[in-house]
Structure 1
Amino acid sequence: MSKTIFITGASRGFGKIWAEAFLQRGDKVVATARDINSLSDLIDQYGDAILPIKLDVNDRAADFAAIQKATDYFGQIDVLINNAGYGLFGSVEETTEQEARDQIETNFFGLLWLTQAVLPVMRKQGHGHIVQVSSVLGVVTLPVLGLYNASKYAVEGLSESLAAEVSSFGIHVSLIEPNGFSTDWGGASAFHTAPMQEYEGVKAAFAASTTDDDYGYPESTTDAILQLIDAKNPPLRLFLGKKALPWVKQVYAGRIAEWDQWSEVSTAAHGH
């Protein structure tokens, strides 16, 4: 049975690749983008099966209006994929107030507004699946991506709480946590802080630490996404790529070792 899927950030990268994969197999797609001209090829090919909506996810009223328009057009929304977002590259000290606010506004609040908007629709239906595109950097961190890390950590905490709140309504929540992929996330789509000389060494070490093998092929993710949205009991978290899980296991082993080392101090702080 075909699904009605609402996906943000559909102009390029994962968003466009996944939107096309859904359409190819017969799903109905609501595709949002700041510039819907980027969707013209899909519109020409798939006609009424795609509803393009010009949307800035930072606009809460527009988010609610887009969900209403999609519901009026297709009658329901089975899956919401919050994919819109971008990366801010720069040290924490370099980051201006506006850069910090803009990063959190898009990556966290835009996702929150659309999630809030779709919940009444899904509760009324008695089913739904909210898919939040997080990152492996919502679980572990890298230097010079502090604000991006913070935005994805916020998405992780929000979504885990949300999953517990809405499960009784028949609504599933999943977090997608990709490692690096060869999209333009780190290129044309990225923003950069004004550099400080003091962080040149940190940035050079960061750049030298990655290789081409660290980046997956974005087109290879489509089978995983289709399996996720078709699953009867989808997971709360799903890594994408071969690098994410081994990295997380290594980092968490170190965290647990440190927590254990300080466990007596932690226990004594309880007071009784």
Structure 2
Amino acid sequence: MPAPEANSTRSILITGCSSGIGLHVARGLRERSYRVFATARKEQDVERLQTEGFESLQLDLDDTQSIQEAVNTVLQRTSGKLYALFNNGAYGQAGAVEDLSRATLLAQLETNLLGWHDLTCRLIPAMRERGEGRIIQNSSVLGFAAMPYRGAYNCSKFALEGLTDTLRLELAGTGIHVSLIEPGPIRSRFRANAHAMFLK
């Protein structure tokens, strides 16, 4: 994203800032003078982000009430002028497709797709009212290429790509720009977090 113009600090809400891409994007945009709302699912991560100087909020993508509370807080603090949303919070459920239960697959989609959709749709009206905005979806190389034992994650990202492409078409001409990025392997806690979810 371009750097904000002088005296017009732009704000961005980022999900999944406890580590990895979300945390690095939050730090990078803050260095470029963006007002960053860095969110995380766990309260201890929110507290750690606050000690780092971020405006940090608890946001659980599996919880509609948590999403609505975060949206209300951010829109209130920005007087309804949130410029951008960076959807990033996600995890990967490993396992062979034939071993994935319906509940496991639903849990993967709740976090990686349905929560993103819910959050995005709650923020679009404020962007429409201003006639500008950015929605950035952090997908994955696994959103267009399959990988064994990553069926649940592949499914969530393939679905995200279709939903995002459709949203981009539907928002054409509104001043709200939709972008999708597809990172490859990145050194982070993603694998460890996925393993932790498996052990629950």
2:158 is the counterpart of 1:159: no
Tell me which amino acid in the other structure corresponds to 2:39: T
2:144 is the counterpart of 1:139: yes
Among all aligned residue pairs of Structure 1 and Structure 2, give the percentage whose two residues are the same amino acid. 35
Tell me which amino acid in the other structure corresponds to 1:131: I
Counterpart contact for 1:82–1:131, Cα < 8 Å: yes
2:45 is the counterpart of 1:52: no
Alpha-carbon distance between aligned partners in 2 of 1:26 and 1:38, rounded to the nearest angstrom:
22
1:137 to partner: Cα distance:
0.6
Could you say what the CA RMSD is over the residues aligned between the two structures, in angstroms?
A: 1.6
Partner of residue 76 from structure 2, selected from 72, 76, 81? 72
Alpha-carbon distance between aligned partners in 2 of 1:41 and 1:26, rounded to the nearest angstrom:
21
Alpha-carbon distance between aligned partners in 2 of 1:123 and 1:86, rounded to the nearest angstrom:
30
Alpha-carbon distance between aligned partners in 2 of 1:174 and 1:90, rounded to the nearest angstrom:
29
Alpha-carbon distance between aligned partners in 1 of 2:194 and 2:130, rounded to the nearest angstrom:
36
* Residues 149-199 of structure 1: CA deviation (Å, up to 9, x unaligned): 010011000000000111221001111101111111112344449xxxxxx
1:143 to partner: Cα distance:
0.8
Alpha-carbon distance between aligned partners in 2 of 1:32 and 1:45, rounded to the nearest angstrom:
13
**Where does 1:35-184 land on structure 2 (aligned, <5 Å)?**
35-46=42-53, 50-75=54-79, 76-184=81-189
Distance change >3 Å, CA 88–CA 181, structure 1 → 2: same
Counterpart contact for 2:94–2:194, Cα < 8 Å: no
**Where does 1:214-253 land on structure 2 (aligned, <5 Å)?**
none
Task: Count how many residue pairs are aligned between Structure 1 and Structure 2.
Answer: 190
Alpha-carbon distance between aligned partners in 2 of 1:45 and 1:65, rounded to the nearest angstrom:
22
| SS class of match (1:186) | helix
Counterpart contact for 1:36–1:52, Cα < 8 Å: no
Distance change >3 Å, CA 62–CA 128, structure 1 → 2: same
Tell me which amino acid in the other structure corresponds to 2:70: A
Tell me the TM-score normalized by structure 2. 0.89
* Greater Rg over alpha carbons, structure: 1
Alpha-carbon distance between aligned partners in 2 of 1:45 and 1:32, rounded to the nearest angstrom:
13
1:98 to partner: Cα distance:
1.6
1:68 to partner: Cα distance:
2.0
Gaps of 5+ in 1: 194-272
Counterpart contact for 1:51–1:70, Cα < 8 Å: no
1:74 to partner: Cα distance:
1.9
Specify which structure has the bigger relative contact order, considering alpha-carbon pairs within 8 angstroms and separated by 6 or more residues: 2
Distance change >3 Å, CA 181–CA 44, structure 1 → 2: same
Gaps of 5+ in 2: none
18-27 vs 156-165, which deviates more? 18-27
Alpha-carbon distance between aligned partners in 1 of 2:180 and 2:146, rounded to the nearest angstrom:
17
* Residues 103-127 of structure 1: CA deviation (Å, up to 9, x unaligned): 0110010110011011001001110
Tell me the TM-score normalized by structure 1. 0.66
Q: Which consecutive aligned stretches of 4+ in structure 1 deviate over 6 angstroms post-superposition?
A: none
| SS class of match (2:190) | coil
Alpha-carbon distance between aligned partners in 2 of 1:151 and 1:135, rounded to the nearest angstrom:
10
More helix by share: 1
Alpha-carbon distance between aligned partners in 1 of 2:51 and 2:198, rounded to the nearest angstrom:
35
Alpha-carbon distance between aligned partners in 2 of 1:160 and 1:167, rounded to the nearest angstrom:
11
